Amino acid sequence: MSDKRVYFFGDGGADGDATMRNLLGGKGANLAEMTRLGVPVPPGFTITTAECADYQRTGKLSAELQAEVKAAMAQVEKVMGKRFADPADPLLFSVRSGARVSMPGMMDTVLNLGLNDDTVQGLAARSGNERFAYDSYRRLVQMYGDVVMGVSSELLEDAIDHLKEKRGVKLDTELSAQDLRDLIATFKGLIEKHAGRAFPYDPWEQLWGGVRAVFESWQVPRAKEYRRIHRISDEWGTAVNVQAMVFGNMGDSSATGVAFTRDPSTGENRFYGEFLINAQGEDVVAGTRTPQQINHAGRDAMPAGHEARTLPTLEDVMPGSYAELVAVRERLEKHYRNMQDVEFTIQEGRLWMLQTRSGKRTGVAAIRIAVEMEREGLVKADDALLLVEPDHLDQLLHDQIDPEAEIEVLASGLPASPGAAQGIIKFSAESAVEAADKGQAVVLVRRETSPEDIAGMNKARGILTSRGGMTSHAAVVARGMGKPCVAGCGEAFVNYETKTLTVAGRTFKEGDVITINGTTGAVIAGAPPLVPPRLDDPNLSRIMAWADAARRLKVRTNADTPHDARQAREFGAQGIGLCRTEHMFFGEDRIRRMRQMILAGDEASRREALEHVRPLQQADFDGILEAMSGLPVTIRLLDPPLHEFLPTGDKEIVELAGDLGVSADDIRRKIEELHESNPMLGHRGCRLGVTYPEIYEVQVEAIIGAAIAVKARGFDVRPEIMIPLIGTVRELAEMRQLCIATAERVIKAAGAKVEYLVGTMIEVPRAALTADEIATQADFFSFGTNDLTQMTFGFSRDDIAKFLPSYLAKGLLPTDPFQQLDQTGVGQLVEMAAQKGRRANPHLHLGICGEHGGDPSSIAFCHKVGLDYVSCSPFRVPIARLAAAQVAIREKQG
C-alpha cells in the first residue's frame, strides 16, 4: 500500500474511488466516486484510516500529513476560486468522520471551519447577510467547543436559552446579528474557562484540532460500544473528510434543494424535486417557506390551489443550473442503476451536489421503477429484481395508512401482521361477530387470543393484543388470515370488566374508533384515511415472473381452509407446507364432539365421539386437496394440548355439562386433570398420538378418505401426513406405523390407489440432533422453527413480549428470534439436521413451516442450507418468491 495519507477530490478528478472504502471510509470513497463521474461535488480531501491507526498508536499526527494537507488545500482553493483564511472572502470547510461502514451518529461533525473575528466579516460582506455570517460563526464556535474542546454541549445550549430568555424570544432564528455576536463572546468565555484554552483564532489550528478530534472520537465509549455490538474491528479506524462548504443563501443567485431522479411515490420516470432560493438546506426541511418545484412537470402536477403552482420553477429562474442538474440526474442513474435521492446547492450560480443515495420509495414506485429501468436498458432483469425490497411487496398486498395523512400514534406493539385496519373497538369475539354482522368495521382488542376467538378474529378488520409475541396465537392466526395485527402492545391496558382500553393516558370505550398499523406496530387514535392494495398491477406480474425464473426454492403456504388454499394459489403458492388441523375442531358442532371426546372415560366412547368428527374433517381435507390439485398438501396431525379445547368460563362449563349430560363439577375435574404447568412442553404433539392413537387414526382416515374421493373426481392429489413434535426415532416409527396401517386399510377398503407420504416436523432440538436416525422413518422433514426457537432459546413463544423490548434495547438480541431466524444458534440445528437427514435418506424432502418461512433473511438462510421449500402464510407468498429469487441472484453474482 502506498504511504499517501491525503486523497483529493474535486472538479472532475479524484485520487480515490469507490473500491477504496477500507482506506478512505465509505463516505470518502463515495465522494471520490461521485467526483470521478463528473458530478460537481464541493471539493475537498480525505485523510486516510491509516493515518488514524498511526494516531491511535502515537497520539500524534504524522510528519507527512502536514505537507500533504497543504498541497490538497491548494487544489481545493483553486477549484473554488477562494482561499482558506482569506479575511475578504474565506473558504470554509466541514470536517466529518467516515469509517469503512457507516456508524450513524457516533462521531460529530464540525461545520464552517475557518471562521474567526476577521473572516466572519468577509463572509458577511460577500453574502450581504450579516445575520447569516454570525450565525455560521456561532455554530462553528459551539460545535468546536463541544466536539473538539470537550466543553459540555448543555452548558453552551444553556447560554443560548439564557440569551433567548433575556431577549424575550422563543426561536433561535429570532436572535439578531448583535445577539449572535454576544453569544459568540459568551461561548468563547465558557470555552476558555472549561477547556483551559481559548477557541483558536487561526483557521489552520482549527483544522488540525478538528482532524485530531475525529481520530479521538474513534475511542469514545459510545463508539466502542457501537463497534462491540455490530462486531466492527477496533483496528479499522476512521477517515476524516474535509470538504469545502457551499452556501445556498448567498443571495438571489443561490438556492438549495432536494430531488429524486424519479417520482418516489408513483415511480413515474420524471425528475421530481423542490428548492428554495436564497436558503439553507434546513429551510427546505423546516417547512417555514413553501418550496418551489424544480420543473414545470412538477409544478403542473401540484394540486389545484397549491401555492407551489404559482411559484416559478428552477427551470424558469436558473435554466443553466437546471440543465446541469438534469445532466447529473442522468449520470447518477446510469452509474448507480437505481433511483437516487440527491441534495444540491447552488452558490452564486454554481451547482454543487452535496449527496446522492438510493431513494426511499413506495411499493408501487419500487416495482414500476424496476420494470421501467429494465425496459430502458439501464438494468438486466436480475438486477431489476434486486431493486424491489420484500417490504415493498408487503405494502402492495395490504391496505396502508395514506402516507400523506397526519396520525396520532398512541403506542407501539409488535408488527405482527401487516396492513392497516380501523374500526370500532370490541373486546370479545362474540361482540366482534355481532357488530361485524351488522356491517360495522371492528378492531378486536384482547389481552391475548385463543382458539375460541377465531370467529371474532375472522370477522374483525384487525386485531390488537396487549400480550404475546410474533408467534402468539393472535399473530399466527392473523397472518394466516392476512389480517392486520399488532400484538404484545405492553403499553395498552385492556380491562374486560370495564370494557376499556387505556393507552398513552387516554381511555377508549367499546365502540370508539381506533386504527392499527400491523406493518409498523403502531396503535393510532381515530380513523386516518387508508389506501387500498394493488394486486392487478402488471408491473407486479412482471416482477413475479422474473422472480420465479430466478429462484431455486419452492414456496408453499400455511393454510387451513380451502379458501386460504385458493387465495395462496392465486399468490403463487406451490402447495401447502402446513395445514394445521386444530382449527378444524372449532366451530359449533365440532367443538362439542371434541369436548365429548376429551371428556370420554374410555377408548370406545372416545371413538364414538370421533366418529362424528371424521366426516367433518374429511370434508375440510376434500376442499383443500381439490384447491391444491397437482400440488403437495402437508397435513399435520393434531398438535395442541387438549385443555385448549375445553371451556374456561363458568357459563360455558354449565352449558357444556347440560349438553353432555354430566355435572359441571365433572367438567371442572377434567379441566383440573388436564391442567399442565408447562403445556407447551406437555401433553401435546405426537404425545397425543401415543396416548390416544384413535385421534390420529381418525385424522388419517379422513385425509386418505378425502384423497380417494377427490382423486375419483379427477383431481391430482398429493397428501403428505405430518407428525408434530417428534423427539426420538422410536416415537416416529410408532406413529408412522400407525399412519401407514390406517392409510393402507382405508385404501384397501375403497379398492383405490392413492400415493401419500409420511414425514415429521423437526421442532424439538433432540430431533435435530438425531436427524440421521429420524430420517430413516421419514419421507420429509419440515422445520417447525417456532417451537425449535422456543426450545433452543428456552424463550416462551407466548411470553417473550414481556422481556424482548429490553433485550433489543440493550442489544442483547439483534432482532426478535421468532421473527428472524437465529442463524447462529437455531440455524445451526436446522443446517445440521438437513445434512444428517439427507445423508441417512437421500430421498428426504426438506422444508420449513415456522413463521420464519415468510421472513426474507430467514428465507435466504433456507436457500443456503439447501432446503427444498419454504412455507408461509398466503399473503407472504409473493414476498417469499421475491426473497428466494434475490438470494439465488446474489449467490450467482457472487
Residue 448 interacts with which of ligand PEP, Mg ion, none, CB < 5 to 8 Å by class = none
Q: Which is nearer to ligand PEP, 701 or 763 (CB)?
A: 763
329: contact with ligand PEP by CB under 6 A: no
Output phi, psi for 631, to 5 deg: -125, 155
CB of 781 to ligand PEP, least distance (A): 12
Binding mask 615-644 for ligand PEP (x = CB under 6 A): ------------------------x-----
What lies within 8 Å, CB to CB, of 174 at 6+ separation is 164, 167
849: contact with ligand PEP by CB under 6 A: yes
What lies within 8 Å, CB to CB, of 431 at 6+ separation is 456, 510
Q: Which is nearer to Mg ion, 654 or 680 (CB)?
A: 680
Contact 83, 56 (CB under 8 A): no
Site for ligand PEP in 197-256 (CB under 6 A): none
Site for Mg ion in 740-779 (CB under 5 A): 763
Site for Mg ion in 782-801 (CB under 5 A): 784, 787
How many Å apart are CA 894 and CA 749, to the nearest integer?
55
With contacts defined by CB under 5 A, how many residues of the chain interact with Mg ion?
3
Instruction: Choose which of 341, 626, 763, 816 interacts with ligand PEP (CB under 6 A).
Output: 763
Please indicate whether residue 862 is annotated as part of the active site.
no
Task: Write the DSSP assignment of 191-207 as a string of letters.
Answer: HHHHHSSPPP-SHHHHH
CB of 784 to ligand PEP, least distance (A): 3
Contact 826, 762 (CB under 8 A): no
The residues with which 352 forms a beta bridge, in sequence order, are 345
Q: How far is CA 587 from CA 188, 341, 454, 483, 537, in A?
A: 77, 53, 9, 20, 37
Helix (H) or strand (E) holding 162: helix 153-167
Closest residue to Mg ion, judged by C-beta, is 787
How many Å apart are CA 496 and CA 505, to the nearest integer?
18
CB of 637 to ligand PEP, least distance (A): 12
579, 849, 862, 872: the active-site residue: 849
What angle do the packed helices 664-674 and 650-660 form, to 10 degrees?
Answer: 110
Q: Which is nearer to ligand PEP, 787 or 798 (CB)?
A: 787
473, 643, 845, 863: the active-site residue: 473
Question: Shortest CA distance to 874 belongs to which of 555, 595, 615, 503?
Answer: 555
How many Å apart are CA 171 and CA 158, to the nearest integer?
14
CB of 237 to ligand PEP, least distance (A): 44
Contact 827, 864 (CB under 8 A): no
Residue 482 interacts with which of Mg ion, ligand PEP, none, CB < 5 to 8 Å by class = none
Helices (H) and strands (E) in the chain, counts: 35, 34
Q: Which is nearer to Mg ion, 837 or 850 (CB)?
A: 850
395: contact with ligand PEP by CB under 6 A: no
Residue 830 interacts with which of ligand PEP, Mg ion, none, CB < 5 to 8 Å by class = none
CB of 650 to ligand PEP, least distance (A): 29
CB of 305 to ligand PEP, least distance (A): 53
Backbone φ/ψ region at 798: left (φ over 0), alpha (ψ -120 to 50), beta: alpha
Instruction: Choose which of 632, 784, 847, 874 interacts with ligand PEP (CB under 6 A).
Output: 784
179: contact with ligand PEP by CB under 6 A: no
Q: Which is nearer to Mg ion, 123 or 688 (CB)?
A: 688
Contact 251, 128 (CB under 8 A): yes
- Classify strands 513-517 and 420-426 as parallel, antiparallel or unpaired: antiparallel
Question: Shortest CA distance to 261 belongs to which of 323, 316, 342?
Answer: 342
Output phi, psi for 7, to 5 deg: -115, 115
Q: Which is nearer to Mg ion, 487 or 723 (CB)?
A: 723
CB of 784 to Mg ion, least distance (A): 4
Q: Which is nearer to ligand PEP, 817 or 850 (CB)?
A: 850
Q: Which is nearer to Mg ion, 515 or 790 (CB)?
A: 790
What angle do the packed helices 562-570 and 603-627 form, to 10 degrees?
Answer: 30
Residue 850 interacts with which of ligand PEP, Mg ion, none, CB < 5 to 8 Å by class = ligand PEP
CB of 580 to ligand PEP, least distance (A): 6
How many Å apart are CA 541 and CA 445, to the nearest integer?
36
Site for ligand PEP in 634-693 (CB under 6 A): 639
With contacts defined by CB under 6 A, how many residues of the chain interact with ligand PEP?
10
Q: Which is nearer to Mg ion, 221 or 794 (CB)?
A: 794
The residues with which 695 forms a beta bridge, in sequence order, are none
Q: Which is nearer to ligand PEP, 264 or 685 (CB)?
A: 685
Please, what's the b/e burial string for 768-777 (b: 16 or more CB within 10 A of its CB; e: otherwise)? bebbbbbbeb
Residue 886 interacts with which of ligand PEP, Mg ion, none, CB < 5 to 8 Å by class = none
Q: Which is nearer to ligand PEP, 151 or 859 (CB)?
A: 859
How many Å apart are CA 371 and CA 540, to the nearest integer?
9
Question: Shortest CA distance to 760 belongs to which of 785, 737, 777, 741?
Answer: 777
**Letter for the amino acid at 406?**
E
How many Å apart are CA 102 and CA 236, to the nearest integer?
12
CB of 297 to ligand PEP, least distance (A): 51
SS3 assignment, position 292: strand
Which residues in 500-547 belong to E strands, given as ranges? 500-503, 506-509, 513-517, 522-525, 530-531
CB of 476 to ligand PEP, least distance (A): 6
Cα-to-chain-centroid distance, residue 350: 39
Cell output for 242: 474535509
CB of 640 to ligand PEP, least distance (A): 8
Residue 736 interacts with which of Mg ion, ligand PEP, none, CB < 5 to 8 Å by class = none
The residues with which 487 forms a beta bridge, in sequence order, are 414
Residue 461 interacts with which of Mg ion, ligand PEP, none, CB < 5 to 8 Å by class = none
What angle do the packed helices 826-840 and 785-793 form, to 10 degrees?
Answer: 120
CB of 717 to ligand PEP, least distance (A): 23
CB of 567 to Mg ion, least distance (A): 23
122: contact with Mg ion by CB under 5 A: no
Residue 785 interacts with which of Mg ion, ligand PEP, none, CB < 5 to 8 Å by class = ligand PEP
Residue keyed to cell 477496533: 234
Residue 414 interacts with which of ligand PEP, Mg ion, none, CB < 5 to 8 Å by class = none
Please indicate whether residue 643 is annotated as part of the active site.
no
786: contact with ligand PEP by CB under 6 A: yes
Lateral strand order in the sheet of 44-47: 13-14, 6-10, 44-47, 238-244, 93-99, 110-113
Residue 798 interacts with which of ligand PEP, Mg ion, none, CB < 5 to 8 Å by class = none
Cβ neighbours, 10 Å, residue 492: 24
Site for ligand PEP in 127-146 (CB under 6 A): none
Pick the piece of the chain touching ligand PEP (CB under 6 A) from 78-86, 483-491, 590-598, 781-789.
781-789
How many Å apart are CA 532 and CA 826, to the nearest integer?
37
787: contact with ligand PEP by CB under 6 A: yes
Contact 34, 8 (CB under 8 A): no
Instruction: Choose which of 98, 273, 562, 850 interacts with ligand PEP (CB under 6 A).
Output: 850
Q: Which is nearer to ligand PEP, 482 or 784 (CB)?
A: 784
580: contact with ligand PEP by CB under 6 A: yes
Q: Which is nearer to ligand PEP, 179 or 763 (CB)?
A: 763
Instruction: Choose which of 259, 364, 578, 844 interacts with ligand PEP (CB under 6 A).
Output: 578
Name the site residues for ligand PEP (rule: CB under 6 A): 578, 580, 639, 763, 784-787, 849-850
Q: Provide the binding-site residues for Mg ion, judged by CB under 5 A.
A: 763, 784, 787
Q: Which residues are catalytic?
A: 473, 849
